[in-house]
Amino acid sequence: MNLWLRIFLPFAAGFYVSYLLRNVNAIIAPELTRELGVSAADLGLLTSTYLFAFGIFQLPLGILLDRYGPRRVETGLLVIAAVGSAFFTIGGSMPELAFARALIGLGVSACLMASFKAFSVWFPVERQHSLNAAVMVAGSLGALSVTTPLSIVIPVFGWRGVFFILTIIALAAAAGIFSVPEKPFSISGETLGQQLKDLGSIVRSRAFCCYAPLATTFIGGFMALQGLWAVPWLMQVNGHSRDAAAFHLFLTTVAMICGFLCVAMFIVPLRFRGIHPESVLNAGLFAGLVSMLGVLLGVSSSHALWFVLGLAFSISNLTYASLSSHFPSALAGRVNTALNTGTISGAFIIQWGYGLLIDALTLRGWGIANAHRTAFGMLLLLQMASFIWYLLVKPVSIEKK
């Protein structure tokens, strides 16, 4: 089999599975509520245990990826995800389900970062942007799989049957990744102390300080909107029905897939034509800001604006490969997971802070629509500030290592 397929397909399958396990609770929520008496607060706790386990493991994950290689690390973690999925299948109480959900979050925490690490080891730097985008397509397809297709399957197998199937799929993905060939020099021989010292150097570097605010506010901000606040905005500010709001999100997801596909297919040819990935990133970030401003101001053709937001999100993920290009491949695991820590933290803080601000403003007598606009405007200001900072620092200050 072609080496590209032997490396890419197993890691893409792993990331696909991670999205299945990440988003499945949104679809089975009615069944959980009906069968187990799970409240809205309980569902929120289940979500937070996943994010908590996922987020706190990112920095240790980077050390493990650089020390032991992506094949071993992701194989082991996907087995943990399968164990968590199996526990969720038999769970009968909130503590049991929360524990199972945390195991799943821990188990899928490496799926994207291990892919990035593997690509940095096996392929030249000019292909990183393309490969990273291609694996993101797999995740987007996973997100689509747990919408209408899953809703058709649940009445047949039940939510416990679905998690049993997901357990088998996770184990199959782990086996596929374990079959990936190991590149001998991909495993670091550094001591733990040296790895921690290098991690400190990464997060203090000018390159990291340039890209981290972008990941936190653009990628994390989009995740916060897509994961929670987009539908309330569309319904409470724009006056759309739930079906219309859902269609906006469907368009946004389709745009994400289109964006990742275009980056995967054209970023390398564009580079050969003299258009650097940084230029594509700049254009995507600017388009994201313009579309966010259009949404805030209530510009007509909201379908187009949310479609552009999906495209901008896919392009903003070029920040991972762009940052990694400033460091040796031996540090790729720590570089990407350090950046991903900012992304996940940003998604959590922005999602939580957005709601806190809305609650505070409505308690003061503000209308819900104006409260949304204020929170949305604050997010846009943060994104603008990070974009300006990136433009000021990037041209002359980022060091090559």
For 81-133, the pLDDT digits (tens) are 999 999 999 988 888 988 998 999 999 999 989 998 888 888 887 777 788 88
Predicted pLDDT of residue 400: 43
Q: Homologous superfamily of 1-126+141-189 in CATH? A: MFS general substrate transporter like domains (1.20.1250.20)
Cβ atoms within 10 Å of 173's Cβ, excluding its own: 28
User: For residue 151, what are the contacts with CB-CB under 8 A and spacing of at least 6?
Assistant: 27
Predicted pLDDT of residue 393: 87
Predicted pLDDT of residue 147: 67
- Residue 210 — very low, low, confident or very high, per pLDDT cuts 50/70/90? very high
CA–CA separation, 330 and 199 (whole Å):
12
Determine the 3-state secondary structure of 364 from DSSP. coil
- Which residue is associated with the tokens 């649940």? 154
CA–CA separation, 66 and 117 (whole Å):
8
User: For residue 318, what are the contacts with CB-CB under 8 A and spacing of at least 6?
Assistant: 129, 132, 133, 263, 267, 277, 280, 281, 284
> Closest by alpha carbon to 369, among 239, 258, 269?
239
Beta strand extents in 187-256 (DSSP E only): none
- CATH architecture of the domain 199-393 equals Up-down Bundle (1.20)
CA–CA separation, 189 and 271 (whole Å):
34
Predicted pLDDT of residue 188: 55
CA–CA separation, 48 and 348 (whole Å):
9
What value does the mean pLDDT of the chain take? 86
Q: Where are the domains of the chain?
A: 1-126+141-189, 199-393
Predicted pLDDT of residue 26: 64
Predicted pLDDT of residue 399: 43
Question: Tens of pLDDT along 12-61?
Answer: 999 999 988 887 776 776 777 778 776 655 665 676 688 788 888 998 99
Alpha helices in 91-147 (DSSP H): 94-107, 111-122, 128-145
Burial status of residue 63 (CB atoms within 10 A of its CB: 0-12, 13-18, 19 or more):
buried
- Which residue is associated with the tokens 């940003």? 346
Are 341 and 320 in contact by the 8 Å Cβ rule? The answer is: no
Are 118 and 92 in contact by the 8 Å Cβ rule? The answer is: no
Question: Tens of pLDDT along 225-277?
Answer: 876 688 788 888 998 886 777 788 788 888 988 998 898 888 888 888 889 89
